[in-house]
Every structure is written in C-alpha cells, then in structure tokens.
Copies of this chain bind each other. A is one copy, B any other.
C-alpha cells in the first residue's frame, strides 16, 4: 500500500462476545489491512441466528480508541452490532465486514443458526463486502495458531477483487492438528442436519425441563461440499446469498392451479 492510498475501514464483530479469543485473533490479523472498528456483544450470542433487538433499547460503550483502532461493546445481537456499527459508530459503511473467528463450525446447515454468519449476511444486504470466519473447534481456548495465512489470503482477495452484489463468504477452517491444512476449497453448503435429542430432567420441584442437545448428521457425502473439505483437512469457502427463493420449485408449485 502506498502512502497516498486510503486504508480500508474494517468493521469486526462476532457472536461469541468481546472476550472471545477468536475475536482477538481476528482483530490482530485485520490491523495489518486497515483501520479496525470492533463492535461486539457484551455476552456470547451463539445460536442467535438473524435475531434483532426491537423490544429493548440498545446501548454502545466505548472500550478503547486510538488512531486506526476502536473497540466498542453493546448489549445487542450480532446483527444489531452490524447495524450499530454502521449507523451509530461509523456513520456510514465500512469497506469490509469480517465476523468471527467463531469458536465452532458454521459449515453446512450451521450457517442457518449462526450469529456469526447472520452478521455477515446483514452487511451483505447493506451492500458491504463481508466474510465470516469459523474454526471447527468449539472450545473457548481453541488453538488459532494455524489460521493466519488462510484468513489473510481470503481478505486480500476480497479487498483486491471485491464481491459481487448480494454475495458474501462463509469460510471455515479445520481445527488445529499436527497435519497442516491442505488448502482452501470453494464449495457448496452440504445438505446435512442436526438431529435433536433433548436432555429432559426434573427440577427440585418435580417440574420437567429440557436442554437442547443434538447430533450432526451428514448424508451429503459429495466431494464439492464444505463438510467434505473440512473432513479432509481443507478450509472451505462457500459464497452465500440471501435470496432464499427455491427457483427450481416455482414451476411445479405453479402447476397446482391455485
């Protein structure tokens, strides 16, 4: 970057909250690329999907501010963080939104439940190039030591080429292992699902309660899916859009004669 080029403004959020190691890692990587503004939740918002806060007011606190680096926390969801980042903190659009690094996979159908990817999709709706990064390791002290090159490569390419209108990226990286990650594959979302099993118990008053648990089941074993890539120690990159229309089904439904 020459001195005359304007540094890009990069908005960062996540759904594990501002304490998360994955967020700290992403901040340190993004500071090499531009001016970084962090707007993260005070609390973990994992599993919040595309939730927004409409019944309670939102509050934003400044945690830290220096040249080219600002950090804020709020009481909202990941999608709220993007809206607040644009409207209240920046007062305009950042050049890039990155979300994560999520502690846990957002590959396959996980994208639907993911607060990390909801933030990315929200930015995409607003016309901002946006990327979600997730590590396939749910532990809060996950090892992020192998992710730098992959994240830097994707961010460089997006800053260089941009992303077409209405498209954002879902990038997942295998958990740390002694075998190095083999590369990045451009994939489609695997058609897998969670099979729920509630862990049902009784409280001391004898009233039933249920913890949501589940098992990930993948019957979509094709080699062009994100889940295949991750299972074979590749990082996966899925271009994602927010048009949920099932175009192929329009014809058959039209024939119903409604």
Contact = CB atoms under 8 A, between A and B. Distances in A.
A102 to B, nearest CB: 14
A237 B253 CA distance: 9
B212 A249 contact: no
A50 B79 CA distance: 12
A178 to B, nearest CB: 23
B189 A243 contact: yes
A46 to B, nearest CB: 7
Interface stretch (A6-14, A19-27, A32-40, A84-92): A84-92
The secondary structure that dominates the A interface is mixed
Contacts of A118: 49-50
Contacts of A136: none
A29 to B, nearest CB: 16
Contacts of A169: 253
Contacts of A244: 111-112, 170, 189, 238, 240-242, 244
B58 A212 contact: yes
Interface in A235-251: 237-247, 249-250
Nearest to A163: B249
A88 to B, nearest CB: 6
B249 A167 contact: yes
Contact of A59 (B113, B170, B209, B253): B209
A256 to B, nearest CB: 5
A253 to B, nearest CB: 5
Nearest to A184: B258
A252 B164 contact: yes
A175 interface: no
A70 to B, nearest CB: 16
Contacts of A46: 54
15 contacts: A44-B55, A46-B54, A57-B201, A57-B210, A59-B210, A84-B210, A87-B196, A112-B242, A112-B244, A157-B256, A163-B249, A167-B246, A170-B244, A240-B245, A242-B244
